[in-house]
Structure 1
Amino acid sequence: MDLLSWTFADPDVQADKPILIDAADPTRSLSTAQLRSQVRRLIAGLQDTGIGPGDCVLVNAFNDVFYSVLYFGIMGCGGIFTGVNPAYKPAELAHHIALTQPKLIIAAPALLPSTLAAAAQCGLPPSAVYQFDLAPSSTTPGVQSWTSLLAPNERSWIIPADPATAPAHYASTSGTSGLPKAAILPHSYHVSQASFLSSSAATLPYTPIRLTALPPFHVFSTPIVPSSIRSRIPTYIAPRLDIPSFIATVSTHGITETYLAPPTIVALGANTAATSGTLRSLRQVWFGGAQLARPNREPLLRALHPNAAIQPVWGMTEAGWVTAGRLADTPDDSVGCVLPGYTVRVASDGELLVRGPALMLGYLRNEEASAAAWGDGWLRTGDVGREEGGKVWVVDRAKDLLKVRAWQVSPAEVEGVILAHPGVADAAVVGVELGDGSGEVPRAYVVRAAGGGGVSAEEVRQWTGERLARYKVPEEVVFVDCIPKNPTGKVLRRVLREEAKNERPKTEGEAVVVMEVTETQSRVGARHTYSG
């Protein structure tokens, strides 16, 4: 079944009750009937504009109750939805535009400068950019409003001949090298993901009320709204995670379920306002994007309902949710149980491989990466671990990919930006653990260029911050005499990661000997200067 037919399968059941609600202003809401009508009007408007099957439409906006109108409407006219992180800088956005080749872009007014700059760089005219102006005060003169795409009449959505092969979504995913790729996700992928949340909600010992502040284009988030509509679960939408607002929404509206990144769980557990009884209604907190040890969950868990659970989700853009915790299970350090329809096996080298009911179709315009993602019909996850009794434990990552505040970061992408600085001769990026169990941050190892004027750590960070999203900017910069590489020139990230683990300099400006490279790597003792 296609995603829209599955989501709106029962159009008359509780159709007039608010289903998507603005967390900051609950008077702003959409019922299922209102949402369905808005989606059908957008379908008609997009088709009248010339958007049809196979055409991509890009959305660059913060989460909102009306974001789902765009999401469903684009897919409903036969188009392919793609969303981007609002933190993207023009160069990152231009890469995504060049890759996905959208015919039309819808952007929040605050994001129009970077969006128009990136669109122009890719040869997309300003007339193809619409503003997602949700309030009169936010409009930008001279840019078309997205409301002009809402036709006065409604039109039914297109039902693809084969939902298992019909692309619905180009989802950005960072690889271990180079710039981010786009995974091609079919309708069946999203239906299988939403089906799990919908079926699990049917057996809960409480009435679910949801709150999400997740990016709506991220695959950790995409099952939430379709399953909420299908199961008639009121869902409060926040544009971003703000801890005081989060606490107030949970307390005021009796939220029972929410979805968080590990650093937020750690932060909430240390927040006295969160641990003073305000979150007692919460029964399930799902987290994904990185692991979080049980001791780091405990402070927040004690602040929730006595029968609550903080549960892991393990997966990847290419496969969606593969495992998840179950409310009745005894807590452990696994990443949960394998979800129905999925199979996980361990390769001879320890890498976890996955088969599932509806995985990605491949990477857009990247046959080499698509072929490399599969091994004997199994999707490679890049994670090393084990499977026992239907549960999965993840112990390491085979890939170099970083997970920073649940966002994927390609070290090669960050390195490429740093290397473009005239004062830098060489660079490498690895992840270092924060130490509080909430994940890792990027650390850059930098070789200064001869005669480059002695570039500083702050200059490296500023240069990177002007070109990349904040979460990709190195939190730490270590200046070195050389970058360890093998005889073919490949950066030995393992050496750098071991150094970061075994020797964390304590004082800014302190020079320390932290690495000695083996003879096959030219046996160099490198002296480092730390700045963080």
Structure 2
Amino acid sequence: MDISFFLRHVHGDVARFDPDRPALSLEDDEPVTYRQLGERTHAYARELLDLGVGAGDRVGILMYNSVEYWIAYFAITRIGAIAVRLNFRLGVEELDYVLNDSGAIVLLGDGELLARLSRLRSVVPVRHHVAFGPEEDRPSWAQPWSHLERGDTAPLDLPLPTAEQGAMIMYTSGTTGRPKGVLWSHGTTTWWAALQVMEWRFDESSVTMVTGPLYHIGGLENYVLPTLAMGGHGVMLRSKNFDLGRTLDLVERLEVTDLLLFPVMINQLVERDADEVDLSSLRRIFTGGDALMPSVCERLEHRVPGADLIQLYGLTEGTPMATCSAPGMGYARPASVGRAYPFVEVSVRDDAGEPVAPGTVGEIWTRSPANSLGYWNKPEATAETFTDGWCHTGDLGLVTDGTLSIAGRKKDMIRSGGENISPAEIEDVLLRHPAVVDAAVVGVPDPVFVEAVCAVVVINDVPVTEEELVEHCRSHLAGFKKPRRVVFVTELPRTPSQKIQKFRLRDMIATGAIAGS
């Protein structure tokens, strides 16, 4: 099975549903139908072939959220090429690295993003640039995206890719350092959509909205791709400047049934004064990336009583969402990220790779037909991360009553004075303080304790001191777990999937870029 199935099953003599149904839309813009999505994909694919793209070649996508992003993705994968999904927030040097690492020969990008890469043209393998967006933003050396639209819209007479062929490279979001390209196949992708359909029963009535960028799995493969498999309608937000009020208005107007909200967005929602927005269409709110505090879950249930909360855990390398809350579990057991998906195995292992007893913390391993193929051009890193089909996630967790709870990243565990300290436990306590709206806890070098607990917090307009926050932690935790230092910042560095980048916090503290109060 290949990715073009998501378009093929709408057409032909035995179509599964009406091809003139809405398929994709950018917010409340006019939707593109399944018929239009297929026709435009064929046109783009023909023009990519004319640019010299063939099976196995890499084509970069450096674009803001748009329907055209999806069409480019489907066109690249239809001809057997590999879509390299690039984070538009990367700096020029970082893009230099990923373009050279992936070997992309064509780059599709929004004009204003391509304009930043002028000085890279001689040092990257890209031979053709195609600019999307307003004509005035297009660099003179890039072709206009309208060229992709001029191709024949009839289906291609071209062999379909096999399930084993590479389809997409996504660079890891960087919670531990420099990114690595994770390679997905056509089989990985179609399996992953199927697993979500099995779990959540998307259908033609589904209107699924994602709030993240399409270069991330949480914006494309998660939620929307399985919605397309069942004839539903996928909705994207415009890139940049997320606005909760605007998002909720769209939920009401489009009658959204399934909504992705990252924990920081849910925090905003429960803090928001009750308004007249009707959210009764919501069946599910998906969330993941960071822990959601029990008090927030309780307030969310009162705020949107008709919507189930689905907490999730996974990673790009080893099943994007390996576990999820069962119905009702997201509210009833907020500390848990649920049980394994259909056809997904989850195991908690010790440092020797042996399974540990229930209730014991260890490294989470995952195995499923939706695991990636490994890292692009990095066989040693692939061998370190994958064993007999199992992905070593680098995350710590424990299983109780058949459900998984996260204990932090393996490298995030703080070893202080001979004790292992979980940052998540301290973060939970900090977030209970009325002045704290966001918090991260890291270990910093200490001459006495080897590592000391350092809390980095974002506060609201409630006055609070470092001493008060330390005392607040002392009143809830063992003395050795209290922060020995508190740093106040205006925001925490996060990945596109909203995971806190703790390695950046450590670097910022070490270099004095941020300091204690």
Identical aligned residues as a percent? 23
Listed one character per residue, the Cα deviations across residues 36-81 of structure 1 (whole Å, up to 9, x for unaligned) are 1111111111111110111001111111122110111111111101
Equivalent position of 2:485 in the other structure: 504
1:310/1:92 Cα in 2 relative to 1: closer, same or farther (>3 Å)? same
2:348 to 314, 330, 346: 346
| Cα distance, 1:504 vs structure 2 | 3.2
| Cα distance, 1:89 vs structure 2 | 1.1
Secondary structure of 1:502 counterpart: coil
| Cα distance, 1:288 vs structure 2 | 1.7
- Asked whether the 8 Å contact 1:15–1:33 carries over to 2, the reply is yes
1:174/1:143 Cα in 2 relative to 1: closer, same or farther (>3 Å)? closer
| Cα distance, 1:312 vs structure 2 | 1.0
Structure 1: stretches of 5+ with no match in the other structure: 402-429, 446-482, 487-491, 509-526
Aligned counterparts of 2:23 and 2:263: Cα–Cα separation in 1: 27
Equivalent position of 1:166 in the other structure: 165
Task: Say which is worse superposed, 39-48 or 193-202, in terms of deviation.
Answer: 193-202
Aligned counterparts of 2:25 and 2:98: Cα–Cα separation in 1: 30
Equivalent position of 2:264 in the other structure: 263
Equivalent position of 2:93 in the other structure: 91
Equivalent position of 1:374 in the other structure: 386
- Asked whether the 8 Å contact 1:62–1:215 carries over to 2, the reply is yes
- Asked whether the 8 Å contact 1:209–1:235 carries over to 2, the reply is yes
- Asked whether the 8 Å contact 1:212–1:238 carries over to 2, the reply is yes
Secondary structure of 2:314 counterpart: strand
- Asked whether the 8 Å contact 1:97–1:119 carries over to 2, the reply is no
Equivalent position of 1:365 in the other structure: 377
1:507/1:38 Cα in 2 relative to 1: closer, same or farther (>3 Å)? closer
Listed one character per residue, the Cα deviations across residues 333-364 of structure 1 (whole Å, up to 9, x for unaligned) are 21022001111111124111111113111111
| Cα distance, 1:104 vs structure 2 | 0.5
Listed one character per residue, the Cα deviations across residues 425-467 of structure 1 (whole Å, up to 9, x for unaligned) are xxxxx9995943876569897xxxxxxxxxxxxxxxxxxxxxx
| Cα distance, 1:263 vs structure 2 | 0.6
Aligned counterparts of 1:358 and 1:137: Cα–Cα separation in 2: 41
- Asked whether the 8 Å contact 2:199–2:342 carries over to 1, the reply is no
Aligned counterparts of 2:337 and 2:10: Cα–Cα separation in 1: 34
Equivalent position of 1:214 in the other structure: 212
- Asked whether the 8 Å contact 1:254–1:281 carries over to 2, the reply is yes
Matches within 5 A, 1:276-315: 276-304=276-304, 306-315=305-314
AA in 1 matched with 2:338? G
Equivalent position of 1:45 in the other structure: 47
- Asked whether the 8 Å contact 2:210–2:218 carries over to 1, the reply is no
TM-score by structure 1 length? 0.74
Equivalent position of 1:399 in the other structure: 411
Secondary structure of 1:235 counterpart: strand
1:256/1:137 Cα in 2 relative to 1: closer, same or farther (>3 Å)? farther
Equivalent position of 1:144 in the other structure: 143
- Asked whether the 8 Å contact 1:266–1:297 carries over to 2, the reply is no
Listed one character per residue, the Cα deviations across residues 106-140 of structure 1 (whole Å, up to 9, x for unaligned) are 11122122233444442545xx111112x456545
Matches within 5 A, 1:51-200: 51-122=53-124, 124=126, 128-133=128-133, 135-136=134-135, 138-153=137-152, 154-156=154-156, 159=159, 162-163=162-163, 165-174=164-173, 178-200=177-199
Equivalent position of 2:243 in the other structure: 242
Matched, 1:495 2:445: no
Aligned counterparts of 2:139 and 2:485: Cα–Cα separation in 1: 48
AA in 1 matched with 2:326? R
- Asked whether the 8 Å contact 2:209–2:224 carries over to 1, the reply is no
Task: Say which is worse superposed, 172-181 or 30-39, in terms of deviation.
Answer: 172-181
- Asked whether the 8 Å contact 2:40–2:71 carries over to 1, the reply is yes
AA in 1 matched with 2:451? V
Equivalent position of 1:20 in the other structure: 24
- Asked whether the 8 Å contact 1:284–1:327 carries over to 2, the reply is no
Secondary structure of 2:396 counterpart: strand
Task: Say which is worse superposed, 79-88 or 430-439, in terms of deviation.
Answer: 430-439
AA in 2 matched with 1:14? D
AA in 1 matched with 2:280? R
AA in 2 matched with 1:322? A
1:258/1:159 Cα in 2 relative to 1: closer, same or farther (>3 Å)? farther
Secondary structure of 1:282 counterpart: coil
Matched, 1:321 2:321: yes
Aligned counterparts of 1:7 and 1:288: Cα–Cα separation in 2: 29
Aligned counterparts of 2:214 and 2:345: Cα–Cα separation in 1: 27
| Cα distance, 1:262 vs structure 2 | 0.9
AA in 1 matched with 2:29? P
Secondary structure of 1:321 counterpart: coil
Task: Say which is worse superposed, 62-71 or 113-122, in terms of deviation.
Answer: 113-122
Structure 2: stretches of 5+ with no match in the other structure: 352-361, 414-422, 457-481, 490-511
Matched, 1:253 2:254: yes
AA in 1 matched with 2:285? V
1:155/1:444 Cα in 2 relative to 1: closer, same or farther (>3 Å)? farther
Equivalent position of 1:407 in the other structure: none
Aligned counterparts of 1:251 and 1:186: Cα–Cα separation in 2: 36
Equivalent position of 1:519 in the other structure: none
TM-score by structure 2 length? 0.76
AA in 2 matched with 1:504? R
- Asked whether the 8 Å contact 2:282–2:306 carries over to 1, the reply is no
Listed one character per residue, the Cα deviations across residues 211-237 of structure 1 (whole Å, up to 9, x for unaligned) are 122211212232333222221112222
Aligned counterparts of 1:232 and 1:506: Cα–Cα separation in 2: 49
